[in-house]
Chain A
Amino acid sequence: MRSKPFTLSCARATFYDRDMSDKYDITFTVNGDKRTIRVEPRRSLADALREDCGLTGTHLGCEHGVCGACTVLIDDQPVRSCLMFAVQAEGTRVRTVEGLAIGDKLHPLQQAFWDHHGLQCGFCTPGFLMLAVGILERRPDIAEPELREALSSNLCRCTGYQNILKSVLAAAAEMRK
């Protein structure tokens, strides 16, 4: 028996009885801009941001959810974009590192990373920035031990983490002003 097709809330694509290689049109908001892209179901959100949206600030390290370099915000919550398929982002609001600065003015977290030497090679930095934005927006007064634990989500092979912690604490103080 063939059943009725199922559709996503605002998708034109029919999510039923299609071949694996068929592509889906998905629409979501990236850094405030509405975007529609055409992707295979197996396309990760990270690859969709980089390849289909041209936003290469989101980095891919391990591609299995351990390193956190690909962390972005989905509806203001930090997630690993390598562990989410782009089709799952239909209708969501995505924020990436490209959305942090306003023109030439760096986000307080970016400025703090600069001021406190919170990066060296910079590969992990977009992930750390988005993780920290997600944390501080929800808990601007987060205590240092908890922040330390929350930042342990992501890997950095240059800094030894101390300056990242210092940067986020400084940014938190700045953002509370």
Chain B
Amino acid sequence: MKPVSFRYFAPRTVDQALELLATHGGEGKILAGGQSLVPAMNFRLARPASLIDINRIDSLDYVREDGGELRIGALARHARFEGPVAGGALGAFLPRVARHIGHLPIRTRGTFCGSIAHADPASEWCLLAATLDAGFLVVSRRGRRNVRPNEYFVGALTTILEPDELLTEIRLPLLGEDWRTGFAEFSRRAGDFALAMCAAFLRFEDDRIVEARIGLGGATDRPSRIAAAEALLTGSEGAPDIFREAGNIAAETIDPLEDIHASAEYRRDLVRAMVARALDQASAR
């Protein structure tokens, strides 16, 4: 239950971090909040030869609105999203999601971008980023790129991030007041990993849904949108029976994870329920 020895670096600037990553990234890891990496190190499931601790890079500690987007720096911690960080429908939505992430002491250390870099299938922020088609700003000494979720998420705990790259910022659309939102998650215990969760975003015009985004997480190896359910909802008035039908479509579309916590069939049932619940919530607001 003690990690193996490692070399420790505490850069003060992004440039210093990128230089260190270029040299040590291959056998090293970036340390942000450490709430997933350090348990893995304590179990010796992870044995990085070097840790590049970005906690002293003050320039990465920000959450700000800019050009219709919410820009979230690599050091913004989960707890920050429990309070108001932005206006619009997104601003109201974030605190409702944040409280599902681990527990209070986890949220005071863990970071938004760290969760995205880790890419746990049960990550609420990964689900949100995938559903809202977030921008992922990735930098290295070779340059920078802006990646989209369908390219970014490769599988469970697997992303396109290269060993010398640092995820510095996530950009989420702020969403106008005409968007309504819903979020439903099922886990065995408060604060535990999600077995299934759904984020639903509906835009209404004249009492009809003109745009729908339905994202699923926890049940599959990576978060995904359910295009068929979105198509079903678009143009409808958003009644409970069509929400049930969207849940059925989602449950049939996915290839669920199967593990000690839940069978594939159970996850399908949970997905059915979570989609319907998230949509009920979104239509009620």
Residues on A lying within 8 angstroms of B by beta carbon are 3, 6, 8-9, 15-16, 18-21, 24, 40-42, 44, 47, 63-65, 68, 71, 77-80, 82-85, 87-88, 131, 134-135, 149-150, 152-154
Contact = CB atoms under 8 A, between A and B. Distances in A.
Contacts of A83: 34-35, 38-39, 109
18 contacts: A6-B11, A8-B10, A15-B9, A41-B5, A42-B5, A47-B2, A64-B1, A64-B43, A65-B106, A77-B79, A83-B34, A83-B35, A83-B109, A84-B34, A85-B53, A131-B104, A134-B104, A153-B103
Contacts of A65: 35, 38-39, 106
Interface string B1-31: 1111111111110001001000000000000
Interface in B21-64: 34-35, 38-39, 42-43, 49, 51, 53, 55-56
A37 to B, nearest CB: 15
B16 A6 contact: yes
Contacts of B8: 15, 24, 41, 85, 87
Contact of B6 (A24, A42, A134): A42
Chain B binding site: helix, strand, loop or mixed by DSSP?
Answer: loop
B5 to A, nearest CB: 4
B55 A88 contact: yes
B42 A82 contact: yes
A21 B34 contact: no
A41 B106 contact: no
Q: Which 5 A-B pairs have the closest CB atoms?
A: A153-B103, A41-B8, A64-B39, A20-B5, A63-B1
Given A65-B35, A65-B39, A83-B39, A15 B10 contact: yes
B143 interface: no
Contact of A153 (B6, B10, B191): B191
B108 interface: yes
